[in-house]
Structure 1
Amino acid sequence: MSRTRRWAVPGYALALAVIVTAPLWAPGYLLLRDAVSTPRSYLSDAALGLTEAAPRALPQDFAIALASQLVDGGLVVKVLLLAGLWSAGWGAARLTAHVLPEAGLAGQLVAVTVAIWNPYVAERLLQGHWSLLVGYGALPWVATTMLRLRCGDAGRLGGLSALAFWIALAGLTPTGLLLAAMVALVCVAVPGAGSPRWLCAVAAAGFSLLGALPWLVASAVTHSLSAYQASGVPGVGAFAARAEPGLGTLGSLAGLGGIWNAEAVPGSRSTVFAITATIVLLAVVAAGVPAVLRHRSAWPLLALAVAAVVLPALMASGPGLAVLRAVVEAVPGLGVLRDGQKWVALAMPAYALAAGGAVLTLSRARPGLPSAAAAVACCAAVVLTLPDLAWGAAGRMTAVQYPPGWTAMTAQINADPRPVAVLPADSMRQFRWSGEAPVLDPLPRWIRADVLTTGDLTISGHTILGEGANARAVQELLLAGSDPTRLREAGVGWLVVESGTGGEIASAATTLAQLPVAYHDADITLYRVGGDAPRAPNALRTQVTAAHLIWLAMLVLGAAGMAVTRARSAQVG
């Protein structure tokens, strides 16, 4: 293969990923709904999962805290997001090359397009789930690695190293890890004369367990899942998959759309044009299914794709929601299931593979049609039916600059890191300088101190309670205008009032009038309260840190094993 052809696929995947993320590469930070990046993060108790809240962002927060000691944290997040999308496309092409080599370069380019340019990517970007998209990007690599292990195309050391690396990378979030584990275990079922099934299954399960240690250990030592259960297992109905215009829930999910939040949807998917877009995507995928069915190694992925669409649709039904609530009440750790649409990511490897096979089907149906022309037609159809994914979802995802006062305020808190309370009383913010969409409060990720957050979330006027019972008690003191002495007794060291954003203040002005101002400008005011509270015991910090280091070691050693294997292959070649 010529050097040009060898780099055509990764180059094309990178080009699509850059087109999607282009506005982010201006100076600034990603601040959009759940996506929060800051110049620097720290290994606070929150970053290690040692708070009341369920450890949903582990080991992501740990990794960003380490990386931001060397590189600006905003740049770290941008690079990881770009890498996730690039990996999704490149990995889809590698999967197609392994299962459908007859599809050639043309088929691989179609697979790249479907993996990157689809409603799932658009909606998760607009929801701010950048780390989930990193896990999404690892899925086709996990599938390819396991398939190569089973058929004997990969050396055992190199294959196991690659499997460890991709599962660890996907494990940047709990959901990403579970997605990768399911893909790996499903692919164990394929026939092959390579590594035995038992070894592949043990490796997949073992690596998944090691990758899950950060949030498993944090959940165990903090009992945060009990707090989630005590809060009433919130959000089961609110986070169910949603039907898009003209499509039922099943149709929306089959088109890789249907996120629970209607505001995190591209404009083209919020009208009946979603019907056309879904038909086009499914037509491209369906066209390649006959070619894919000829290869038994693809059958498990096809079955997984069907399940990934049908089961979330059932979960969004009345009986499905009742069953899901009962399951989560019995096993709080399964609260990760409540956002049903995110599991549609499991369909992506099969969708991309089938899309690559569409080139073969079209070429056979029209014998005179060049495969390149078939690929161009498929790629154009997929891109043109989701035009507003380009340029940061039509400019809705941009780089944001923090006001100077935030740097000054965080510097004061970091010099004396005591627990911080925040007003207004809301987890989401809509700053005048951060764009039209709301965003999670950036403060907890920018300071050494722990921020008292309730985790409450308001959706369509309905408040879903979080696990922060202690933070909620402090918040009630503030809203009642209590004497500052009571705040100090509750362990509050600082109070931050973030101006220019919605949220409840109630009678807090009475309390604020009695507190000394440490910093003030038009955007933010910092009050010194003077209380303090002990950090998590050193023994707990040691246990959770060790769990994170095991995850990090799996990531680094997996990458090293892949590099050694590649170097040996190059020498032999």
Structure 2
Amino acid sequence: MRADKALLLAWGLILVAAVGWPFLLPGEYLWRDMALLHDPALTPGALGSGALPARNVPQDALLALAGGPWIARVLILGAAGCAAATAALWAASPWTAAGAMACAVANPFVIERLLQGQWSLAIAAWLLPVIAYCGLRGHERSAWLAMCVASITPTGAVFAVLTALFCARTRVGLAGLVLWLPWAIPGIMQAQTGSVTGSARTAVEAFSPHAEHLVGTAGALIGLGGIWNSQAVPDSRTAGFALAGLGVAALAVLGAFRLVRREAQRLGALALMGMGAALALWLCPGVAVWLVENVPGAGLVRDSQKLVMLAIPLYVAGLGALPRGFAPLALACTLLQNVDAPRALGVLAPTDTGVDRALVAEIDDRTALFVDRPYLVEVTAADGTRGVAIDPYSKVTAQLSSGQLSVDGDVVDQAAPAYLAALAAWDERDMAQLEKLGVGVVVLDGRIVASTPAPPPALPWAPMAGWLISPLLALVLRGAPRSACPLTPKKR
């Protein structure tokens, strides 16, 4: 028994290292949606009240309060480790645990989202099985703490609550609505002021799931893949290895029939809701357009592939419940579906972000208008791959960003009205208007070319403060009477 535990521990460490190795390296990170810099600024945008939608709340505020990438490293490696441990303890035997652990840590959803730079969404994907397991086994405190960490991104917060509503007591899921405050309140205010602009139809089309070789779009989704950006996919999946994902799905469903009925029903319902919604919105994009246009907060589903994340707990539990004879096949399928993931993740390694710290110090917390910097800048990854990333200055200054986003030449998000107004004022050299808009400095060619008496922006702390103290709610939640440890399985 001790040998089995040691082997599973070693296997878990190998899986976490294979996926998270770039985050074991020192330095700053800049790739696509990821910008993890030293000494990020605590700005209105980081707290959700900037000119752009609050899509990076509360993660940006957490990074600013922590002072740099170290907190992201801890959360990424810790969440992946918790996913591996949960899969091992959920499994019926050490043999089936190996495949379940591989699915929990290195499934296509996690790999593709990491390659897109969405590290916080990967954390949420790792923690959904933890929330489900702890909820089903009655470990409410641990489920709540996992929900708090998963909620560093809005999508993670929503899916964590949904998982808790299916797998834990209702009060745990409803309490999770508190975790929505940092982005829900700014989102409602922005919707009322009309500060968010863009075509819902264009966005839904741009973020539609993409087909993968030999399996198509439906097969990609069933295999937990199919992200909209085909460049954020390991090369192996374009060579037909996505077929292994169908094997993983089939084996997971087979194993699910061996679960305790209560667990199978709840995990199955959660998976059907997520996978069914993802497939439905892909087949009927008009429904997604209507939701984005008419339902507050439904902008989360314009990237409908994210919904398959709700199936991960069932896949993990189902693979772990397989008969011992299926264990080699399950392990082979889970590894083959992302066989080159460790190499592909090399683009995430630390790199030079090009930030001029002297310029940042000179800006001194004032709102800056960068006249000649786009929302997305060209970057070169550590392995030499060229791509784009969010402007790193938006993380270290109170930058008035345009937010304009184009996908394959189609404008998905229009430039923010506040940015356009400030740019027009600068073209007219109307410094009074710039001051009225809150712009403190104007930056051109890497230096400050003008300034106004506008003070540094105020910081709206209330929603973020509620999120920061949310882990304390674990003190009032009652854990399972049999064990205070969430990762202690019940006796069989």
Q: Do both proteins adopt the same fold according to a TM-score greater than 0.5, normalized to the shorter chain?
A: yes
For structure 1, the 5+ residue unaligned runs are 98-102, 150-158, 189-199, 364-373, 498-523
Matched position secondary structure for 1:529? strand
Deviation at 1:23, TM superposition (A): 3.4
- The corresponding residue for 2:255 is 288
- The corresponding residue for 2:129 is 140
Deviation at 1:444, TM superposition (A): 1.8
Matched, 1:106 2:95: yes
Matched position secondary structure for 2:29? strand
Identity of aligned residues (%): 29
Matched, 1:401 2:352: yes
Deviation at 1:459, TM superposition (A): 0.4
Alpha-carbon contact 2:438-2:457 (below 8 Å) kept = no
Matched, 1:548 2:461: no
Q: Over residues 477-503 of structure 1, what are the superposed CA-to-partner deviations in whole Å (9 max), with x where a residue is unaligned? A: 56xx54364774454333335xxxxxx
- The corresponding residue for 1:38 is 37
- The corresponding residue for 2:119 is 130
- The corresponding residue for 1:243 is 211
Which residues in structure 2 correspond to 1:497-536 (within 5 Å)?
Answer: 497=444, 525-534=446-455
Distance change >3 Å, CA 28–CA 424, structure 1 → 2: same
Name the CA distance, whole Å, in 1 between partners of 2:399 and 2:87.
40
Name the CA distance, whole Å, in 2 between partners of 1:545 and 1:378.
42
For structure 2, the 5+ residue unaligned runs are none
Matched position secondary structure for 2:387? coil
Alpha-carbon contact 1:135-1:169 (below 8 Å) kept = yes
Name the CA distance, whole Å, in 2 between partners of 1:470 and 1:559.
44
Alpha-carbon contact 2:215-2:243 (below 8 Å) kept = no
Deviation at 1:57, TM superposition (A): 1.5
Q: Over residues 200-227 of structure 1, what are the superposed CA-to-partner deviations in whole Å (9 max), with x where a residue is unaligned? A: 1122212x1121122233334x435653
2:146 to 166, 176, 192: 166
2:440 to 489, 493, 496: 493
Structure 1: which amino acid aligns with 2:216?
A: G
Structure 1: which amino acid aligns with 2:19?
A: V
Name the CA distance, whole Å, in 2 between partners of 1:238 and 1:89.
33
- The corresponding residue for 1:384 is 336
Alpha-carbon contact 1:487-1:529 (below 8 Å) kept = no
Matched position secondary structure for 2:406? strand
Matched, 1:422 2:373: no
Deviation at 1:533, TM superposition (A): 3.6
2:420 to 472, 476, 480: 472
Alpha-carbon contact 1:453-1:472 (below 8 Å) kept = no
Name the CA distance, whole Å, in 1 between partners of 2:381 and 2:305.
31
Name the CA distance, whole Å, in 1 between partners of 2:329 and 2:148.
36
Deviation at 1:354, TM superposition (A): 1.5
Name the CA distance, whole Å, in 1 between partners of 2:487 and 2:99.
29
Deviation at 1:309, TM superposition (A): 1.9
Alpha-carbon contact 1:52-1:224 (below 8 Å) kept = no
Distance change >3 Å, CA 569–CA 113, structure 1 → 2: closer
Distance change >3 Å, CA 8–CA 433, structure 1 → 2: closer
Structure 2: which amino acid aligns with 1:258?
A: G
Matched position secondary structure for 2:451? coil
Q: Over residues 393-431 of structure 1, what are the superposed CA-to-partner deviations in whole Å (9 max), with x where a residue is unaligned? A: 25232211334x6222222223xx221112435211113
Name the CA distance, whole Å, in 2 between partners of 1:113 and 1:162.
22
Name the CA distance, whole Å, in 2 between partners of 1:202 and 1:347.
22
Deviation at 1:87, TM superposition (A): 2.2
Structure 2: which amino acid aligns with 1:282?
A: A
Matched position secondary structure for 1:212? helix
Deviation at 1:301, TM superposition (A): 0.7
Name the CA distance, whole Å, in 1 between partners of 2:458 and 2:347.
42
Structure 2: which amino acid aligns with 1:127?
A: Q
Alpha-carbon contact 2:115-2:345 (below 8 Å) kept = no
Distance change >3 Å, CA 44–CA 202, structure 1 → 2: same
Distance change >3 Å, CA 488–CA 247, structure 1 → 2: same
Aligned length: 482
- The corresponding residue for 2:275 is 309
Name the CA distance, whole Å, in 1 between partners of 2:433 and 2:195.
25
Distance change >3 Å, CA 90–CA 226, structure 1 → 2: farther
Alpha-carbon contact 1:427-1:440 (below 8 Å) kept = yes
Distance change >3 Å, CA 26–CA 469, structure 1 → 2: same
Alpha-carbon contact 2:199-2:412 (below 8 Å) kept = no
Which residues in structure 2 correspond to 1:341-352 (within 5 Å)?
Answer: 341-352=305-316
2:286 to 305, 315, 322: 322
Matched, 1:445 2:390: no
Distance change >3 Å, CA 334–CA 10, structure 1 → 2: farther
Deviation at 1:387, TM superposition (A): 1.5
Alpha-carbon contact 1:84-1:138 (below 8 Å) kept = yes
Deviation at 1:160, TM superposition (A): 2.6
Matched position secondary structure for 1:464? strand
Q: Over residues 333-383 of structure 1, what are the superposed CA-to-partner deviations in whole Å (9 max), with x where a residue is unaligned? A: 21112111111111111111121233x1x53xxxxxxxxxx5344323421
